[in-house]
Amino acid sequence: MQFTTHFIASTVLATLGSAAMAVEAEQASTWMTPPTKSRAEVVAETQAAVRSSTLPRNEASYTVVASSSSSPLTRTLVMAEAREAQRLGLTATNDGEVPVASNAQREQVRLAGLRAVRTDSQLAAE
Q: Domain range for residue 94?
A: 75-125
In a domain, 18, yes or no: no
Residue range 23-67, pLDDT digits in tens: 555 556 666 677 788 889 988 988 888 888 777 666 555 555 566
> What is residue 58's predicted lDDT score, i.e. its pLDDT?
61
Q: pTM here? A: 0.41
What is the number of domains present in the chain? 1
In a domain, 89, yes or no: yes
Lowest mean pLDDT among 8-12, 15-19, 109-113: 15-19
Q: What are phi and psi of 91, to 5 degrees?
A: -95, 135
In a domain, 80, yes or no: yes
In a domain, 30, yes or no: no
In a domain, 87, yes or no: yes
> What is residue 29's predicted lDDT score, i.e. its pLDDT?
60
Higher pLDDT, 78 or 26: 78
In a domain, 66, yes or no: no
Helix (H) or strand (E) holding 93: none
> Cα–Cα distance between 82 and 77 in angstroms, integer?
9
DSSP 53: T
| Mean predicted lDDT score pLDDT of the chain | 75
Residue range 83-106, pLDDT digits in tens: 999 999 888 877 777 788 899 999
In a domain, 20, yes or no: no
In a domain, 100, yes or no: yes
